[in-house]
Structure 1
Amino acid sequence: MTIGLSRRSFLKSAAATGAALSLGVRTTAAQEAARTVNVVGWNSPDHQEILLNAGKELGITVKYDVLPAAWNDVMQKITLWGQSGYDGVDILFADDLIGGLWGMNGWADDLSGLDVSSKVQGDLVDNIAALNSAAGGIYRQFFLLDAEPFYYNKKLVPTAPKTWDEMTTVAQSVTGGDVWGWRPLGGNGHAFNTVLLMLNQAGADLESLSDPETLAALQYMYDWVQTSKITPPSTVNEDNTTVEALAAAGKAAMWWSYGGSLKNVPSIDGSTLSIDDIGVARYPAGPASDIGLVHGWGFLSPKASANKAAAHELLNYLGQPEQVRNLVLKTNAPPPLKSLLADPEIQAKVPLIMANGGWENTIRGAKFREPIVNHRQVTQLWTMIDKLGAYILSGQKSPADAQAWAMSEYQTIKDEA
């Protein structure tokens, strides 16, 4: 079932509530309502079961609804909820874009005051602590922390390259026929990650994009397709599913994708690669660093929630390490807590955390999607950076022209904030 979202529905709901109160709803009904928590999350029976069982443990009725299937519909709905002060959601599953949008616009509670936030503060992986500092508060209670690792086909590239220049040289040496040395994600809304990866590794000024380091990052990306020819022109249309299928077919020497790629690629029908054939490494270092990107999902508490006390009680429970463990095992994604990285069952479910000398080495220094996640204009910034990636990977704009366009767009977004 999906939640109706028109403003008329909000107003009718509010009016009905007011009428019920004025007609003298009995105290027992009010008390029952206060012990109800409305959750909107993934279309996942496993996660729904965890939330419902947690509610039973606490004597809280959990009503669970699902996010829309299409991402554009998700963003449209949750933006309207935030802007309108809709009080029908008490806990919302939130990724980086949702968390940034709600946190930076003042629509989400700062969860710093929850008992569990203090309890696990020292156990959070460093990347989450850095995000909370950049955002100025704890706007999500994380239940997973994933990354965008650098992968390579050991049959073609026995050892991961260490620098940008070395990656280009290695990629050129193995590119030929239908095999391409480097396949980043460029299509269906994934290009913004590729842009942010290179901007960070170049040491670009993410608050202006006006510096020589930004131009260097864009030139490097442009050269993949146009000059070095280690990346096919089709990359501008290729998402993670496409790239993983190409990797499974032996047509990608090096690629980046999300954390699930290590298990996904060998499991594709007819895959030429086993899990032992896939290397995971830190990124080849740019002029400034070799850092990658991380992303995560967590629980968000809307400020407008009508059942805040019960919702925060439920969050205190769900944030306990043993409950986070349950969520991680259902999600098959890396945990947000350092203490869970040594859990044998989690290691078996998520082999990525054992690769590359351990998960903490893989994500060391990796950033969330700044500046998108720590500015109010989340959707506009995401759109701008993704379009910037499309301009570069398609060759539609030169690096200099693309930078000039991005600087102008960025300033317009800031002026409208």
Structure 2
Amino acid sequence: MELINKANKYFMETYAQLPVVLVKGNGSTVYDTKGNSYIDFTSGVGVNSLGYGDTEWIKAVEEQSKSLSHISNIFYNLPSIQLAEKLVDNACMSRVFFSNSGAEANEGAIKLARKYSFDKYGKDRSSIITLKQSFHGRTVTTLSATGQEKYHNYFFPFTDGFKYVTANAYDDFINNLDSGVCAVMMEAIQGEGGVIPLEADYVKKVVAKCRENDIVVIFDEIQCGIGRTGLLFGYNHFDAEPDIVTIAKGLASGLPIGAVLCNEKLSKVFKPGDHGSTFGANPVASAGALVVLDKVCNKAFMDSVITKGDIIKGFLKNKCNTILEVRGKGLMIGIQIQGNAAKIQKEALSNGLLVLTAGPDVIRLLPPLIINEGELVKGLEILCQVIDK
């Protein structure tokens, strides 16, 4: 308790932290200061895609940190150039801008979409439609983009220019579409909003309508991208072609990084001085991200993520008696329960399992993509015992 008391003395009270101090990890297991082990179904909220202790990732990061840890974007650096090529080619996009977080990536996407519209149509075409229950970040602008009323307090004035529509309700989208809309921003699966997948037909109709009206389509892939759903991006399940894609979290498996990808239409919208990021294209983070993409961007790896997602769904369906619904894709799973999700989370912790929540009655699972079947089943056994208790 001494370390926790010290943390509570010095940290701002922004997190309702659980009472463990984690010190190391191996594979999909983490350990606290007392030597207790925990199967990790959180991966740092989807960040540690390769789990803990991946030797190739460690080698790449270590070697890069020895040669060049940071350099200004006034200059080029080799790992970021290599990462840009690999990302753009695998995503079938045109160009990339690197940032250091998901919120910053979404800020960049908003600016890019608005500048495209400003250059072509003038300043009165600037509003962006987002979805209710969405989550796009913690900055003032990305909070404003977030379609959850509970976040729209305290920090006034929020950035203007966002409208919220109900996910999977096409009529609501059409009713809010007017001449002032420049972009639509969606998550393929709403993670923080309850792990709610979009419907393929809805996405198809929205994207088609945007194409008719030259409205920029943005997919926020911060949480469901980089193989999390069994495909490189969540929107790949819909055969959609966005104009802008934002990524972060799992891209560098533990190092801060974000990115904005755009297609050819928007590839020359930003000019020197329009945008920037001090830590964007950091060489060490880029080196880590290159290892992640080398491992994730192959069919066998992606297929294993889908298989493990099917194992989770099948186990919960057959072994848990009190679950209301299981939803999601790959290793991004939401479990609707009858009880209190925060209570389940704490009880799982005391039994050696780390899980997340996504609202008052949803347990969220985001295991490392490399988790093996044995760890998966062992963790699910703990979870079902706690839920059915």
Per the normalisation by structure 2, the TM-score is 0.32
* Structure with bigger gyration radius: 1
Per the normalisation by structure 1, the TM-score is 0.30
Which structure: greater helix fraction?
1
